[in-house]
């Protein structure tokens, strides 16, 4: 028995957690909450925001982790205060100012977030924070905000190299720190200038692409880049499939306190089927993107509730020991005129368990075999025998009732025919749908084995070895004694 191999598999994450992140102690798991933009754009005011906060509370969404209420663009008045230079809130939208709104959000047990741009104007053509970082950060801290989403519009050309972009965003890191108020710092720099190389030490999350739109995989010229490494125009109207494609290689850059941001959720908005929304939500959890709802939370359908509160999927996102999922393969499949493919992804979870997702990006049903040789390639390379072991598998969407929502957590049932060796049973996956399984070593009821238990077993193993050696030594000594006597 080689319990040590389980530790080997966890090493990348353990090492990563010693890497220095932005030292504000926040977002140790990906942040969760709600943001105004996807549903309301610029049409916001204090009632919309407070009604949403109350709905989050009434629906119990905060219990699932959704606890930041973020005010996106278009909250600003037209001019800075001539004396203090602070950006006042638009008096028509926020007649009582921002602090009154933050206080009410806090009174509900939720936290408040705000938005600005590292430019002279925001994307909605309001006043930006470039070169006013300290004044603005101080004003937000005084209002009680605990989260900043910081956009990239109208940056006056101070981009194009990592240094230029980093300097601009680092000015806000310092300004936020100087306020003394811990605030999640969410960079919205659209994945340019190799943001994943410099953002992890200055922010809690960084956008990796242009803006999402509620489409599963439709191409749109406004999101023109095919790869983000050399992208000069990230744009907007990027589909779920496209953003996931950008995210595939980037998991290696994330760690506790520093996450790739695939943009806000479109679950519950017009434009995607139920299956497509499930792929979107599951994969954002698997790659450990922040989970920021973007729907009208005051008018949720049972289906939307059921998707956003699948505890077993949220557990993947919020598992303190889990690392962002990696894509193990992507295979082209027959498609009617499309760019159809099927993908296999895996995330390592705590206690030596795993989440494995198979996505059908084609517009035809697909039959897929998942071999453990593929799933456990990394473990095999580091001497693990995971591929030869027997695994229980739990389908994380099985039994979800989308019609009559119930907030009670479903007990997961192990997939029939298990435990499985060598491969999972052949999966049939509808077009634009996914299957996701938690995999746990046979007989562990889906929980795996905790590090404490592994430590105990490893000590026990060492003790047995030592006892074996002691016995051997004693026997040898007896033998020598007999030999000596015999002489």
Ligand X SMILES: *[C@@H]1O[C@H](CO)[C@@H](O)[C@H](O)[C@H]1NC(C)=O
Mapped to the 3 state alphabet, what secondary structure does 370-430 carry? CEHHHHCHHHHHCCCCHHHCCEEEEECCCCCCCCCCCCCCCCCCECCCCCECCECCCEEEC
One of 151, 193, 263, 319 is an active-site residue; which one?
Answer: 151
Contact flags string 170-209 toward ligand X, x per CB under 6 A: -------x--xxx---------------------------
Q: Does position 339 bind ligand X by CB under 6 A?
A: no
Instruction: Establish whether 151 is a catalytic residue.
Output: yes
**Cα angle: 312, vertex 316, 322; to 5 degrees:** 150
Identity of the residue, 40 or 402, whose beta carbon is nearer to ligand X in the bound complex: 402
| Minimum distance of ligand X from residue 335's CB (angstroms) | 8
Cβ-closest residue to ligand X?
366
One of 73, 211, 263, 319 is an active-site residue; which one?
Answer: 211
Long-range Cβ pairs for the range 310-314 (8 Å, 24+): 310/281, 310/396, 310/397, 310/400, 311/64, 311/409, 312/394, 312/396, 312/409, 312/410, 312/412, 312/438, 313/281, 313/282, 313/285, 313/396, 313/397, 313/436, 314/32, 314/64, 314/65, 314/285
Q: Does position 360 bind ligand X by CB under 6 A?
A: yes
Segment near ligand X (CB under 6 A); pick from 59-67, 131-139, 270-278, 358-366: 358-366
Q: Does position 21 bind ligand X by CB under 6 A?
A: no
CA dist., res. 265 & res. 281, Å (int): 7
Q: Does position 23 bind ligand X by CB under 6 A?
A: yes
| Minimum distance of ligand X from residue 427's CB (angstroms) | 7
CA dist., res. 332 & res. 343, Å (int): 9
| Residue appearing with tokens 């039959």 | 367
Number of chain positions touching ligand X (CB under 6 A)? 31
Q: Does position 405 bind ligand X by CB under 6 A?
A: yes
Q: Does position 89 bind ligand X by CB under 6 A?
A: no
**Cα angle: 380, vertex 370, 275; to 5 degrees:** 130
| Minimum distance of ligand X from residue 108's CB (angstroms) | 23
| Minimum distance of ligand X from residue 141's CB (angstroms) | 9
Backbone angle region of 155, left / alpha / beta, with phi > 0 → left and psi within -120 to 50 → alpha: alpha
User: Can the peptide bond before residue 419 be classed as cis, meaning omega within 30 degrees of 0?
Assistant: yes
Q: Does position 365 bind ligand X by CB under 6 A?
A: yes
Segment near ligand X (CB under 6 A); pick from 257-265, 271-279, 346-354, 466-474: 346-354
Instruction: Establish whether 227 is a catalytic residue.
Output: no
| Minimum distance of ligand X from residue 86's CB (angstroms) | 20
Binding site residues, ligand X, CB under 6 A = 23-24, 177, 180-182, 302, 319, 333, 342, 349-351, 353, 360, 362, 364-368, 403-406, 429-431, 447-448, 450
Active site members: 151, 211
């Amino acid at each position: 028995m080689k319990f040590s191999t389980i530790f080997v598999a966890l090493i990348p994450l353990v090492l990563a957690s010693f890497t220095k992140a932005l030292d504000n102690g926040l977002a140790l798991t990906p942040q969760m909450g709600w943001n105004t933009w996807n549903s309301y754009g610029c049409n916001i005011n204090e009632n919309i925001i407070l009604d949403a906060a109350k709905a989050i509370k009434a629906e119990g969404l905060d219990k699932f982790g959704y606890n930041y209420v973020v005010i996106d663009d278009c909250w600003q008045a037209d001019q800075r205060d001539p004396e203090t230079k602070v950006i006042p809130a638009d008096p028509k939208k926020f007649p009582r100012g921002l602090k009154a709104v933050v206080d009410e959000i806090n009174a509900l047990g939720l936290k408040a977030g705000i938005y600005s741009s590292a430019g002279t104007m925001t994307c909605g053509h309001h006043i930006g924070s470039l070169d006013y970082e300290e004044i603005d950060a101080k004003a937000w801290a005084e209002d009680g905000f605990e989260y900043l989403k910081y956009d990239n519009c109208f940056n006056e050309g101070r981009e194009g190299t990592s240094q230029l972009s980093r300097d601009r965003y680092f000015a806000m890191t310092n300004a936020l720190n100087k306020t003394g108020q811990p605030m999640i710092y969410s960079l919205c720099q659209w994945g340019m200038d190799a943001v994943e190389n410099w953002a992890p030490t200055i922010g809690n999350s960084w956008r990796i692409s242009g803006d999402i739109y509620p489409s599963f995989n439709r191409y749109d010229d406004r999101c023109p880049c095919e790869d983000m490494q050399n992208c000069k125009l990230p744009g907007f109207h990027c589909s779920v499939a496209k953003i996931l494609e950008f995210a595939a290689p980037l998991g290696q850059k994330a760690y506790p306190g520093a996450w790739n941001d695939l943009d806000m959720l479109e679950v519950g908005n017009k434009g995607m089927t139920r299956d497509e929304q499930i792929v979107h939500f599951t994969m954002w959890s698997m790659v450990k993107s922040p989970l920021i709802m973007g729907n009208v939370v005051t008018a949720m359908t049972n289906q939307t509730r059921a998707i956003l509160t699948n505890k077993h999927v949220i557990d993947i996102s919020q598992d303190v020991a889990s690392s962002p999922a990696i894509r193990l393969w992507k295979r082209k499949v027959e498609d009617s005129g499309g760019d159809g493919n099927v993908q296999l992804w895996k995330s390592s979870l705590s206690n030596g368990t795993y989440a494995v997702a198979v996505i059908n990006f084609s517009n035809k049903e697909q039959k897929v075999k998942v071999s453990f040789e593929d799933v456990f390639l990394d473990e095999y390379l580091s001497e693990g025998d995971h591929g030869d072991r027997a695994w229980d598998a739990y389908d994380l969407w099985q039994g979800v009732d989308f019609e009559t929502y119930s907030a009670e957590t479903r007990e997961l049932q192990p997939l029939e025919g298990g435990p499985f060796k060598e491969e999972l049973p052949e999966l049939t996956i509808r077009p634009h749908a996914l299957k996701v399984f938690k995999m746990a070593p046979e007989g562990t009821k889906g929980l795996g084995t905790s590090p404490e238990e592994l430590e105990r077993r490893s000590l026990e193993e060492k003790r047995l070895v030592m006892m074996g050696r002691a016995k051997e030594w004693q026997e040898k000594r007896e033998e020598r004694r007999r030999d000596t006597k015999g002489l």
